Amino acid sequence: MARKATVVRVDDGATFVIRPNMAVKLHGIDPPPKGTPEAQKAKEKLETLILRKKVEFETLEWDRLGRSIATVHVGDVDVNKAMEDFLASL
């Protein structure tokens, strides 16, 4: 079942936080190592796609850190696919 929420923070190129303080990780996305220029670019790209926007997400599983591993959409945009394509271009 898909749920909707507003994104309040982006942590990296695959993880973000929604209200009320729940972490969501994009399913199938492995962000670049933190501290690298590619990691910063990936985070900025994800911010442009979802920060302060209402997203629709469907949890596929939960990881050991308690994050929702999910597919995410903003309108007609498949955020997982958009980030997959962006990371492949780095």
- In this predicted model, what pLDDT tens digit does every residue of 33-68 receive, in sequence order? 999 999 999 999 999 999 999 999 999 999 999 999
End-to-end CA distance of the chain: 33
Pull the structure tokens for residue 69.
């591993």
Binning pLDDT at 50, 70 and 90, where does residue 87 land?
Answer: very high
Please state, rounded to an integer, the average pLDDT across all residues of the chain. Answer: 96
What domains are defined for the chain? Answer: 3-89 (2.40.50.90)
d(CA 59, CA 67): 9
Whole-angstrom CA distances from 48 to 19, 53, 83 are 18, 9, 11
Sign (positive or negative) of CA dihedral 57, 31, 42, 85? negative
Residue with tokens 């469907």: 58
